[in-house]
Amino acid sequence: MIKLIPSVAVTLVSLVALSGCASQSESVKGEYRLPLLNSSPEQVCSAAQRQVVVSDLMLSDGILLQQSATRIHAARHHRWSGSLEQQLQQSVQRVLSEPHCNGELVIQVMDFYGDDEGNAVVTGHWLYRQDDTQIEQTFSQRQPLTNDGYEALVMALNQAWSDTLEQIKNAIPN
């Protein structure tokens, strides 16, 4: 019986320690917003004229990281402040504003993540329609990170997205 007491004590201490870990809430270490949204635009196109649709993968709150050729991980502690789809939508409405509000533009974003080689990856396609004009193109941006960390990834994603919007702006008629 005396030999059993230390074993039971160790088991109880282990259970208490494990239950403490399990009951701790996962805290968010960082919420991120695209810097494109930091300025107040003079003009904004309506959401009906400028639509952004994201792939299901990007509906996660966590910033996405590619860990291997087959694995994508959504960060639990580093998240978008608000939905990424909404941030992309608002940035399109701001950047592609007057005189670029004519016609209807739909942008499908397929990828928006950090890859396992230290790059921000932004890919997808877009379709612009106005009267008898229809323009459709794909986009693929790969922006190297300047530093390690989520802040650097968000800045690189922002730059890749900004470059994409600039290409679209130059391709659609005023």
Reported as a single tens digit per residue, the pLDDT across 20-63 is 444 344 677 889 999 999 987 778 888 888 999 999 988 989 99
70 pLDDT above the threshold of 60: yes
Burial readout 80-96 (b: 16 or more C-beta within 10 A, e: otherwise): beeebbebbbbbbbbbb
Q: What is the pLDDT of residue 3?
A: 54
- Pairwise CA distance, residues 26 & 22, whole Å: 10
Cα separation, 169 vs 66, in Å, equals: 29
* pTM for the model: 0.82
**Tokens, residue 140:** 């693929």
> Is residue 85 domain-resident?
yes
* CATH label of the domain that carries residue 58: 3.40.50.10610
Does residue 24 fall inside a structural domain?
A: no
pLDDT over threshold 90, residue 130: yes
Banded model confidence at residue 2, pLDDT cuts 50, 70, 90: low
Residue 106 sits in which domain range? 31-171
Q: Whole-number mean pLDDT of the chain?
A: 85
How many domains, in total, are found in the chain? 1
Does residue 25 sit within a domain? no
Task: Report yes or no on 152 lying in a domain.
Answer: yes
